[in-house]
A and B are shown apart, each in its own frame.
Chain A
Amino acid sequence: MAEPRYFELAVSPHVEGHQTTRKVMFDVVIALLPALAAAVWFFGPRALLLVVLSVGAALVAEYASLRFMKRPISFVLDGSAIVTGILLAFNLPPAVPWWIPVAGSAFAIVVAKQAFGGLGHNIMNPALLGRAFLVASFPVLMTAGWIAPGRWQQEGTGLTTSGIPQEQLAEIEGADAITGATPLNIMKQTYDRETMDSRMGEGATEQVRESLSSGGTYLNLFLGKIGGCIGETSGLLLLLGALYLVARGVLEVRLPLSYLGTVALLGWVFGGSGWFNGDPLFHVLAGGVILGGLFMVSDMVTTPVTPKGRVIFGVGAGLITMIVRRWGGYPEGCSYSILLMNLATPLIDRYTRPRILGEVKKSG
């Protein structure tokens, strides 16, 4: 008989699935590319430069942190830092100086992610916490760097950051309309009817509202021909990316659907001038709700793993977003709403454990 042959030992199962962490992360990167292309189209090569800087800084920060903590360097290539880098840049106004994405990404990786233990252990979404850090530290840069889409290609397209024709906007703002406000800024002003009407005349508020809700504005909002952060403007292309993720089995639909649904519902309930006359479509399409709803609310690490928990998360984030938009100090509440719900995730998971097959509810 031949010499004895020995075999490797391993625990079951003995066949591997097709999904890996790296594939998941690179699928997210692929899903973000169409929106990145749109950003370059609307805001010029500068947008690409900011994204590249942000991703580069994220990778360097990841490498440095892993080195410092003596953890496997190979983690740098798992793709998660690239996702964080892109998402952070997507959340920046397109006119910020070059060092803003660098500082934001470094903070996101070092403080929000690696300090908590690295991939899978961070409590809050690193990109959003990075953005929050930037907003808190450089509020002027982070709230004023808006550019009208297409402006880099030619002057005087007639489009403004809000998608509303220039002349009308000039009247609303009474100032430079081109670097002016985003649709949400304007919507915010309409909540203060007295001031607006006194400045522009009786009935002005309703007029402005009407232009915000006009079909042309919707289309601009959806295609991305409006002012806003680098990656948040084109709802259409973000949606395309999200559909790709759903097809790849990476995106769980409960989170985005419950979030966007809540924003739409509450947008109708109190997003207008009074009760139950708001414009749900405007609230979903404007600002960062589409980007946040499709790519941040659905971030795996910082959101619940249970089916019920995901719905609670989405509804909670939607509620906070709309409360901030209507009554808060900022025109947009998307990113803070997600960060706040991130903090609640462990608790949500804990209280939403699914009913085990055959489990009978204990009395008392």
Chain B
Amino acid sequence: MGKLKSFAGGTHPPDRKHLSSDKAIERLPAPETVCVSLCQQLGAPSEPTVKKGDKVSRGQEIGSQSGFISLPTHSPVGGTVLKVEDMPMPHRRSGPAVLIKTETEEGGQVFEPWPEFREHSPEEIVERIKLAAVCGMGGASFPTYVKLSPPPEKNIDTLILNGVECEPYLTADHRLMLEHPDDIILGMEILVYALGAENVMMGIEMNKPDAVELMREKGVEVVPLKVKYPQGAEKQLIDAALGREVPAGGLPLDVGVVVQNVGTAKAVAEAVRDGVPSLRRLVTVTGLGVESPVNLDVAVGTPFSALIEKAGGYREDVARLINGGPMMGIAQYTDEIPVVKGTSGVLALNSHEARDVAEGPCIRCGKCTDSCPMKLVPSRIARFAEYEKWEQAEKQGALDCIACGTCSYVCPAGRYLVHYIKRAQEMIRALRKREA
């Protein structure tokens, strides 16, 4: 094999995927009550269409789409609405949600199944993906249909399926590729058809040689990638696989590419072939803070506590609970919060593995600059952000940061670089909004 493809910069955090990589996916039945966020997707939340006391069936719409970058929300169970109100969420402080008492897990097929998707136009397919509320399953939860609706002047020639799973610890995508390759491949074919793309390939890091081999056996063009964080970030993946640079402030479609996570491809397949909206997702429950790490297939709205229970409960020295992976995930103060569509992992870290470093002064070693996958100078942007010089931070490229956390990880002084930069991004966007 030749030299593996990759991008410039990056780092090698301990991957600890062995904790769960050989655990077959288990289906977790829906709990007694599910708490379904109405802001699963990036963008505007859905408007609730049910109220307390309403009976809902599985797959029924309980929130309607409220903008272009928005999606409807469906009930993952059949049952009774207990309440509709703001509740704590793993991906934001709190947000509107529907609490539903579970009565049945039957049903769910709310659209007409299209076993032969080619009998339908690409527009119909995109509409179906929208109605089925499919969003990016990699973690960012961007509405998938939006990615499939490029402006007419943009010609999309390539679809890249993202099976990189570069976040340490997480193994759900890996298991999905091993256990449901045909669903992924069907989803891939549907996406190619919807986009009219000529090329399609799947990016997989070489720490998953079994997945690479299996997909190749199935005739998929696989781009094996060097194991390096953040290899699965969209811009880095495109750079590695195709050598194309997404322009700053632009989108992959500006270079004729659409990237979709393998989990998203599976959701697309279920929406089109089976007529079932996106109601469940795969979650890796792992970390040295739980007894026996697992890969679970869970209903959206299941509390973290139920997932932890399935993983054998906490160990004595558990310290930190995270929604997502260890590099970009968000720490949670409680496990009484629901799984959302962006929950790729539930990570319980013990006190030894959880980062605990005192922040010291920057020694200007330049490690952050050398390893930034966006070729930023993180120490400089962070310094401006620390002193609330938002304009200067923006001039240094704060908005180009993909928040991968590589800079904070490599920093010998333990500085919260990515945190400062994310704060700058928020402030710059808020100031822009105010000016507009």
Chain B 402-436, CB-CB to A under 8 Å as 1, else 0, gives 00010011111110101100000000000000000
Chain A 232-273, CB-CB to B under 8 Å as 1, else 0, gives 000000000000000000101000000000000000000000
In the assembled complex, the Cα of A306 lies from the Cα of B380 at a distance in Å of 11
Which B residues lie within 8 Å of A300 (CB)? 363-366
Which A residues lie within 8 Å of B369 (CB)? 305-307, 354
Q: Which of B334-387 contact A (CB under 8 A)?
A: 334-336, 347, 349, 353-357, 360-367, 369-370, 373-377, 379-380
Given the known inter-chain contacts A4-B334, A8-B354, A360-B247, please indicate yes or no for A13 contacting B374, CB distance below 8 A. Answer: no
In the assembled complex, the Cα of A118 lies from the Cα of B362 at a distance in Å of 11
The smallest beta-carbon distance between B299 and chain A, in angstroms, is: 20
Which A residues lie within 8 Å of B347 (CB)? 14
Nearest B residue to A75 via CB reads: B360
Whether B2 sits at the interface, judged by CB under 8 Å, is no
- Say yes or no: A354 contacts B375, CB within 8 Å: yes
- Say yes or no: B400 contacts A358, CB within 8 Å: yes
The smallest beta-carbon distance between A123 and chain B, in angstroms, is: 11
Given the known inter-chain contacts A19-B410, A306-B377, A357-B375, please indicate yes or no for A13 contacting B327, CB distance below 8 A. Answer: yes
**Which of B121-129, B157-165, B313-321 lies at the interface?**
B313-321
Q: Which of B167-191 contact A (CB under 8 A)?
A: 168
In the assembled complex, the Cα of A78 lies from the Cα of B250 at a distance in Å of 43
Given the known inter-chain contacts A5-B335, A360-B248, please indicate yes or no for A14 contacting B363, CB distance below 8 A. Answer: no
- Say yes or no: A356 contacts B397, CB within 8 Å: yes
Which B residues lie within 8 Å of A24 (CB)? 363, 365, 412
Chain A 95-125, CB-CB to B under 8 Å as 1, else 0, gives 0000000000000000000000011110000
- The total of interchain contacts (Cβ-Cβ below 8 angstroms) comes to 175
- Say yes or no: A301 contacts B333, CB within 8 Å: no
Whether A175 sits at the interface, judged by CB under 8 Å, is no
Main secondary structure of the interface of B (DSSP, over half): loop
- Say yes or no: A305 contacts B333, CB within 8 Å: no
Whether B297 sits at the interface, judged by CB under 8 Å, is no
- Say yes or no: B409 contacts A358, CB within 8 Å: no
Which A residues lie within 8 Å of B374 (CB)? 356-357
Nearest A residue to B249 via CB reads: A358
Nearest B residue to A78 via CB reads: B360
In the assembled complex, the Cα of A303 lies from the Cα of B365 at a distance in Å of 9
Q: Which of A9-36 contact B (CB under 8 A)?
A: 9-17, 19-21, 23-24
Chain B contact patch, size range: 35 or more
In the assembled complex, the Cα of A144 lies from the Cα of B252 at a distance in Å of 66
Whether B224 sits at the interface, judged by CB under 8 Å, is no
Given the known inter-chain contacts A4-B334, A360-B247, please indicate yes or no for A17 contacting B410, CB distance below 8 A. Answer: yes
- Say yes or no: A12 contacts B329, CB within 8 Å: yes
Which B residues lie within 8 Å of A303 (CB)? 364
- Say yes or no: A120 contacts B364, CB within 8 Å: yes
Given the known inter-chain contacts A12-B327, A14-B355, A359-B248, please indicate yes or no for A305 contacting B168, CB distance below 8 A. Answer: no
- Say yes or no: B364 contacts A301, CB within 8 Å: yes
Whether A279 sits at the interface, judged by CB under 8 Å, is no
Which A residues lie within 8 Å of B331 (CB)? 7-12, 14
Nearest B residue to A302 via CB reads: B364
Whether A349 sits at the interface, judged by CB under 8 Å, is yes
Given the known inter-chain contacts A15-B327, A19-B410, A358-B250, please indicate yes or no for A8 contacting B355, CB distance below 8 A. Answer: no
- Say yes or no: B13 contacts A355, CB within 8 Å: no
Which A residues lie within 8 Å of B414 (CB)? 16, 20-21
Nearest B residue to A6 via CB reads: B333
- Say yes or no: A7 contacts B412, CB within 8 Å: no
In the assembled complex, the Cα of A17 lies from the Cα of B326 at a distance in Å of 12
Whether B332 sits at the interface, judged by CB under 8 Å, is yes
- Say yes or no: B333 contacts A7, CB within 8 Å: yes
Which B residues lie within 8 Å of A199 (CB)? none
Whether B322 sits at the interface, judged by CB under 8 Å, is yes
In the assembled complex, the Cα of A356 lies from the Cα of B321 at a distance in Å of 34
Q: Which of A192-248 contact B (CB under 8 A)?
A: none
The smallest beta-carbon distance between B154 and chain A, in angstroms, is: 16
In the assembled complex, the Cα of A71 lies from the Cα of B98 at a distance in Å of 51
- Say yes or no: A358 contacts B408, CB within 8 Å: no
Which A residues lie within 8 Å of B152 (CB)? none
Which A residues lie within 8 Å of B335 (CB)? 5, 7
Whether A67 sits at the interface, judged by CB under 8 Å, is no
In the assembled complex, the Cα of A162 lies from the Cα of B249 at a distance in Å of 61
B13, B362, B400, B412 pick with most chain A CB within 10 angstroms: B412
- Say yes or no: A359 contacts B400, CB within 8 Å: yes
Nearest A residue to B420 via CB reads: A11
- Say yes or no: B364 contacts A305, CB within 8 Å: yes
- Say yes or no: A13 contacts B418, CB within 8 Å: yes
In the assembled complex, the Cα of A10 lies from the Cα of B419 at a distance in Å of 10
Given the known inter-chain contacts A7-B321, A14-B355, please indicate yes or no for A357 contacting B373, CB distance below 8 A. Answer: yes
In the assembled complex, the Cα of A10 lies from the Cα of B326 at a distance in Å of 11
- Say yes or no: A12 contacts B380, CB within 8 Å: no
Nearest A residue to B373 via CB reads: A357
In the assembled complex, the Cα of A16 lies from the Cα of B331 at a distance in Å of 15
The smallest beta-carbon distance between A115 and chain B, in angstroms, is: 15
Whether B201 sits at the interface, judged by CB under 8 Å, is no
Which A residues lie within 8 Å of B336 (CB)? 4
The smallest beta-carbon distance between B284 and chain A, in angstroms, is: 15
Given the known inter-chain contacts A17-B11, A356-B375, A360-B248, please indicate yes or no for A5 contacting B334, CB distance below 8 A. Answer: yes
In the assembled complex, the Cα of A250 lies from the Cα of B13 at a distance in Å of 18
In the assembled complex, the Cα of A24 lies from the Cα of B360 at a distance in Å of 13
Whether B140 sits at the interface, judged by CB under 8 Å, is no
The smallest beta-carbon distance between B194 and chain A, in angstroms, is: 26
- Say yes or no: B357 contacts A16, CB within 8 Å: yes
27 contacts between A and B (CB under 8 A): A10-B355, A11-B418, A12-B326, A12-B327, A14-B320, A14-B329, A14-B347, A14-B355, A15-B14, A15-B168, A15-B327, A16-B409, A19-B411, A19-B412, A20-B414, A21-B360, A24-B412, A119-B361, A303-B364, A353-B377, A353-B380, A353-B396, A354-B369, A356-B397, A357-B248, A357-B373, A359-B397
Q: 8 closest A-B pairs (Cβ-Cβ)?
A: A305-B366, A120-B361, A13-B405, A16-B355, A11-B419, A19-B412, A358-B248, A7-B321
